[in-house]
Amino acid sequence: MHSLAQEIQVFSKNRLKKQCTRVTTVTGKKLLERRSDGGGEDQVEELEEGGGCGFVEDTSLDLQVGVVRPFLLLASQDAAHVFDTLRRCKVSHVLNVAYGISNLFPDQMVYKTLQILDLPDTDITSYLEECSSFIDQAQEQDGVVLVHCNAGVSRSSSVVIGYLMLREGLTFDDAYSQVKLARPSIRPNPGFYEQLQHYKP
Which residues are designated catalytic? 149
> Which residue from 117, 183, 129 is spatially nearest to 155, judged by alpha carbons?
117
Q: Which of 168, 94, 81 is nearest to 131 (CA)?
A: 94
Query: H/E element holding 192?
Result: helix 190-197
SS3 80: helix
Assess contact for 76 and 152: CB atoms under 8 A: yes
Instruction: For residue 9, give Cα distances in angstroms to 16, 25, 29, 47, 117.
Output: 13, 22, 18, 10, 36
* E strand spans, 97-149: 110-113, 145-148
